[in-house]
Amino acid sequence: MRRMKPHPILIAAVLLPLAACVRIGEKPPASLMTLTSAAALPAGPPRTARDGQAVAVLVPSVPQALNVLRVPVQTGPTGLAYLKDAQWVEPPARLFRNLLAETIAARTGRPVLDLRQYSLAPGMRLAGRLQQFGLDAGSGEVVVIYDATLARGNDVETRRFEARTKVAREEPGPVSAALNQGANEIAVQVADWIGA
């Protein structure tokens, strides 16, 4: 018996309706959002960590609403939505950690490590929880709340940092700029706390 090969046009006609039904992922936004430190560390000579001088900055924990690449919008006491067409380039907790590390290194002069490097030069450890990092629709403000925990040897200190910034419009550009401003305000306060 001889097998007949299906005609390419016939195959295309069968698969075309299926292709219209299948969608892999969402349409990406025109641009992605990130955070940038206002206190950048300049290039230069190496920094030496004396005993206990290094700072390990850990990625903060986050509530589930921030464990995504989208920007949460508090719509009421118990309501939450996400800002349309706004997406982070990576999870906000990691972006916030990197901004903290850069700011601390620039303002304190201390070497800043991540958790994997901590065993090289044990010193202070900064951990915490990023409680809020989004837009409050009722007040028209972005809100950044960071509960920090600083371990210096056997001593542990905790402190809450909060920044609120008004936004003109509930759109990705203004909201991203306001979140970046709030994150930088907190990073400066944290760096000054560590350096004290």
- Each residue's pLDDT tens digit, 89-144: 999 999 999 999 999 999 998 888 876 665 565 678 999 999 999 999 999 999 99
Q: What is the pLDDT of residue 4?
A: 61
pLDDT of residue 23: 47
pLDDT digit string (tens) for 151-160? Answer: 988 899 999 9
pLDDT digits (tens, 9 = 90+) for 45-57: 666 666 677 899 9
pLDDT mean across residues, the chain: 85
Counting residues of the chain whose pLDDT is more than 70, the rounded percentage is: 77
Looking at residue 9, its pLDDT comes to 64
Q: What is the 3-state secondary structure (H, E, C) of the chain?
A: CCCCCCCHHHHHHHHHHHHHHCCCCCCCCCCCECCCCCCCCCCCCCCCCCCCCCEEECCCECCHHHCCCEEEEECCCCCEEEEEEEEECCCHHHHHHHHHHHHHHHHHCCCEECHHHHHHCCCEEEEEEEEEEEEECCCCEEEEEEEEEEEECCEEEEEEEEEEEECCCCCHHHHHHHHHHHHHHHHHHHHHHHHC
Q: What's the pTM value of the predicted model, to 2 decimals?
A: 0.81
Listed by start position, the domains of the chain span: 52-195
Asked if pLDDT for residue 18 goes beyond 60, the answer is: no
Say which CATH class 52-195 falls into: alpha beta
